[in-house]
Structure 1
């Protein structure tokens, strides 16, 4: 089993924005989003979700244009169709679009739909566009471009019409904790930073590369993962890197009383606890709930010290975050305090 890369590309800003929205759609807006750990950029397709062990793939083609014709939309499906015909299996095939013609959908209120929601005339044009584009591509064997394959593929495609602003995609990451959601300008800046990181991954050339198993894609460094995206969001919200080295000023009271010969170990243990908590997928909601509680307590009680803030945290919130102990929790609170004060 093998897969060969064709037609990697560099994009305009509008298209890059659409690809970032598509990535964040995979990460946050699907029932199976928690299964995805990696987001592969411009290798299998514009964006491809991949599970933690490199066994499953979710394929997405993005199209920023808001007024493409049905036939043009069909043409855009060609890479998804190529992957459908490949030896690799994909969980889902998704086209993420900036908009569709008014006559495209039977029910225009649905922004996530399959071919059963496409009007007959529009569907005929989609099918025609896909057929023509497939025959024009040298990397698709014409013998596989059959009515049967086209129809089987189209039944599997999900059409997503983008109806959100960039900041909405960032808000989704922390939607349950409105008290820590920053202004739209900060949310847009975070979106742009993710977009730029995504674009930077295209600097390496992978055209013509062949891999024999899904996980081999990680050799080429074309992935972002959900952990680093959440960490980036957290850094910008707290105005600091929670995993950065050094001693936060509010923690000095604890640090200075600790035996000199054990201080290095103390900091390492606190850092380790923070890493475990941040990257513990099974307790992700508990971690964000703790951040929300600590952040809110600091904002509302600016004169309180670390111990005061810890005392304000409800027991159920504390008990849910099993990666922290009494000391590492104080370090965590100190990091948040330091960021807020900057």
Structure 2
């Protein structure tokens, strides 16, 4: 993007309730949209509460969140102010999303719709919503009142997507872990994983003070490391399920017998190749379901045959599932099996 500048204003520290809502919003962007696979970065409290960004910062999904469970139309309007500021900025955001804990019964036409645009909001509620937005524009010094014209606001509201949170924290984590229900972690573990993602997200606010910073291109926002990536979150979740970071230094103990057969001068390189293949398999968005099916198959065989070695487990794997993740080869798949076996400690 050229000939633009963006001044960071009104970054803020989160209360716990808001942190929960923002983590749900992050996982909504990551897993529950048709274009979720396009989103690579999740930028925390820079442009807004949360901003999704594609791998090269060409597309930005701008998201404001509010945790209250019964927001009035006027309150919803007030919450739109940062999205509106960004709409009026030099940046062309791909999507504007308001993520809400809940709304009052007077707002929606069809109360069954939890994802909707302005066409599902009652006429009377729209009037109050616009009033709330205008009042907040006046209250916020970073928005010029002359910009907040009726035409500008009307055009903006046509572009906003409203999302009502109707899921538990564990549901958002389940959407990352695409494995058989029989080996899905229990509710307590899922909630613990959600809380750890929330804490990682909240910690990004402490990376650097960005209030008052001006950037000239959207990619410069990444220089301040107030972001998580989809791959980082997937890796973290996998590590929690198998109780081990699959990329820890050294060799998994169940893999040592195979590793020791490698020529000595090849060992370090071969082990690194195995880890790289696992990274590719985990982060390959075209094979997400296949990866978790493979993981589920490996997990089940290990649990049912705890004394089997890696070579035996490899032979017991269904060939179709085994070959469904093209990033793996024989050695790297055996490394993955060994990593899972060491982590679950059966």
With normalisation by structure 2, the TM-score equals 0.96
Partner of 1:103: 106
How far does residue 250 in structure 1 lie from its aligned partner after superposition? 1.1
Q: Please, which of 297, 307, 311 is the counterpart of residue 307 of structure 1?
A: 311
> Are 1:190 and 2:205 counterparts?
no
Q: Distance in 2 between matches of 1:216 and 1:180?
A: 41
Partner of 1:172: 175
Partner of 1:14: 17
> Are 1:69 and 2:72 counterparts?
yes
Q: Please, which of 34, 39, 46 is the counterpart of residue 42 of structure 2?
A: 39
Q: Please, which of 19, 27, 31 is the counterpart of residue 28 of structure 1?
A: 31
Q: Distance in 1 between matches of 2:306 and 2:230?
A: 32
> Are 1:210 and 2:214 counterparts?
yes
> Are 1:336 and 2:317 counterparts?
no
Partner of 1:113: 116
How far does residue 267 in structure 1 lie from its aligned partner after superposition? 1.6
Partner of 1:245: 249
TM-superposition CA deviations, 1:206-244 (whole Å, max 9, x none): 011111111111111111000000001100011111111
Partner of 1:2: 5
TM-superposition CA deviations, 1:257-278 (whole Å, max 9, x none): 3333332222222222222222
Superposition pairs of residues 290-305 of structure 1, within 5 angstroms: 290-305=294-309
With normalisation by structure 1, the TM-score equals 0.97
- Paired residues in the alignment total 342
Q: Distance in 1 between matches of 2:331 and 2:145?
A: 65
> Are 1:129 and 2:132 counterparts?
yes
How far does residue 176 in structure 1 lie from its aligned partner after superposition? 4.9
Unaligned runs of 5+ in 2: none
Measured at CA, do residues 260 and 175 of structure 1 come closer, stay the same or move farther in structure 2, by a change above 3 Å?
Answer: closer
Q: Distance in 2 between matches of 1:38 and 1:262?
A: 35
- Residue 7 of structure 1 aligns to a residue in which SS? coil
Q: Please, which of 137, 153, 168 is the counterpart of residue 150 of structure 1?
A: 153
- Residue 224 of structure 1 aligns to a residue in which SS? strand
Q: Distance in 1 between matches of 2:161 and 2:134?
A: 18
Unaligned runs of 5+ in 1: none
Partner of 1:319: 323
How far does residue 121 in structure 1 lie from its aligned partner after superposition? 1.4
Q: Distance in 2 between matches of 1:268 and 1:35?
A: 28
Q: Please, which of 232, 236, 251 is the counterpart of residue 232 of structure 1?
A: 236
How far does residue 304 in structure 1 lie from its aligned partner after superposition? 1.8
- Residue 176 of structure 2 aligns to a residue in which SS? helix
CA contact (8 A) 1:80 1:93 kept: yes
Q: Distance in 1 between matches of 2:10 and 2:176?
A: 31
Q: Distance in 1 between matches of 2:76 and 2:201?
A: 24
CA contact (8 A) 2:8 2:214 kept: yes
Partner of 1:55: 58
How far does residue 329 in structure 1 lie from its aligned partner after superposition? 1.4
Superposition pairs of residues 252-291 of structure 1, within 5 angstroms: 252-291=256-295
Q: Distance in 1 between matches of 2:98 and 2:31?
A: 16
More divergent stretch after superposition (244-253 vs 221-230): 244-253
Structure 1 residue ranges (4+ consecutive) displaced by more than 4 angstroms after TM superposition: none
Q: Distance in 1 between matches of 2:331 and 2:14?
A: 48
CA contact (8 A) 1:239 1:340 kept: yes
